[in-house]
Amino acid sequence: MRFVQDNLYPLLATLALTFAIVFWFGAPNPPPIKAQTLIAEPWSLPKEAEHDAKKPLDVINARNLWGIVATNAPKEPEWHVLGIVRSGLDRFILLAFEGKPIEMLKAGDALPDGVKIMQIEKDRFFVMTPDKKKLAFGIYKNEPAK
C-alpha cells in the first residue's frame, strides 16, 4: 500500500495535469468575428402622440363611480382631539376645531358634530350617536377603536 501512495498517486496527478494542459492548448480557436458594414440611414425621433388629459377624466365622471354627490350638503365642523387630561377623579378631552380656542369637554358634553360623550378613559373616549350606537375614539393614530 505504501508503494501506491508513494508512486502511483503522484503519477496519476501528473498524468491528469498533462491531459488538462493538452486539451486546454489543443482546443481550436473560435472563428474570427466578421466586421459588419454600416448602412447610412437617416433616422428621426418618433412623433409623440397627442394626449388629452381631460378625456379619461370625462370617462370616469360619466360612469358615476361614487354615486350622487350632494354639492349643497352642509359642511360638518373639522375637529380633532389634542389629548385627554385628568384632574383628580375627573377626565377631560382637549378639543380643537375650526380656529376656535381649545375646549375642555367632560362626559355628558356634546362634540361639535352633536354626538354626546359617554365615557372618558386614559387613552380613548366613547360617544353615543343619535341612532344610539356607542363608538370609541382612540387618541393615538394607529390604535384601532374597540
Query: If you average pLDDT over residues 98-122, what whole number do you get?
Result: 86
Q: What is the pLDDT of residues 5-26, one digit of tens each?
A: 788 888 899 999 999 999 999 8
**pTM beyond 0.95, yes or no:** no
Instruction: For the chain, give the number of residues.
Output: 146
Sheet holding 90-97, edge to edge: 79-87, 90-97, 103-105
Residue 84 CA to residue 95 CA, distance in Å, equals 9
Q: What is the pLDDT of residues 87-96, one digit of tens each?
A: 888 999 988 8
Residue 91 CA to residue 99 CA, distance in Å, equals 24
Q: Taking the domains of the chain in order of start, what are their residue ranges?
A: 79-138
Backbone dihedral region of 98: left (phi > 0), alpha (psi from -120 to 50 degrees) or beta?
Answer: left
